[in-house]
C-alpha cells in the first residue's frame, strides 16, 4: 500500500509546479489558467488521499464539486481571455499591467 505521505508529496509537487508556472511564466494567459487548474488538481489529490485514508466519503464528494467549479471557471476564464484578446490584441502576460499603481 502506498503511504499517505506519498500522495501528499505528489500533491505538494503538483502545487509547487503550478505556482512556479504562475510566477515564472511571462508569456501566455492560457498557461496561467492551466496552472490554476493544476493547483486545483493538487488540492483534489489531497482530498482524495485523505478521504481514502480516513474512510470518509465526504472528501471525494468535495472533489466532484471542485471539478465542476473548476470546469465552469475555466470556461469563464477562457471566455475572458478571448475578450481580452479581442480588446488588447494580445494575451501576453507582461503587457497586462493595467493594475499598475
**Which is closer to another protein, CB of 28 or CB of 68?**
28
Of 87 and 97, nearer to another protein (C-beta) is 97
CB of 86 to another protein, least distance (A): 19
Which residues of the shown chain bind another protein in the complex (CB under 8 A)? 3-5, 8, 19, 22-26, 32, 53, 93-94, 96-101
For residue 18, the Cα-to-chain-centroid distance in whole angstroms is 7
User: Closest approach of Cβ 22 to another protein, in Å?
Assistant: 5
DSSP structure string for 75-94: HHHHHHHHHHHHHHS--BGG
Q: How many CA atoms lie within 13 A of 23 on its CB side?
A: 5
Amino acid at each position: 500500500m502506498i503511504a499517505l505521505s506519498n500522495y501528499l508529496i505528489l500533491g505538494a509537487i503538483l502545487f509547487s509546479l503550478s505556482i512556479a508556472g504562475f510566477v515564472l511564466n511571462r508569456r501566455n494567459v492560457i498557461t496561467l489558467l492551466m496552472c490554476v487548474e493544476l493547483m486545483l488538481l493538487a488540492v483534489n489529490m489531497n482530498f482524495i488521499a485523505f478521504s481514502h485514508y480516513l474512510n470518509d466519503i465526504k472528501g471525494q464528494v468535495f472533489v466532484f464539486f471542485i471539478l465542476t467549479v473548476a470546469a465552469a471557471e475555466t470556461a469563464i476564464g477562457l471566455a475572458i481571455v478571448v475578450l481580452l484578446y479581442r480588446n488588447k490584441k494580445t494575451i501576453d502576460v507582461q503587457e497586462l499591467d493595467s493594475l499598475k499603481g
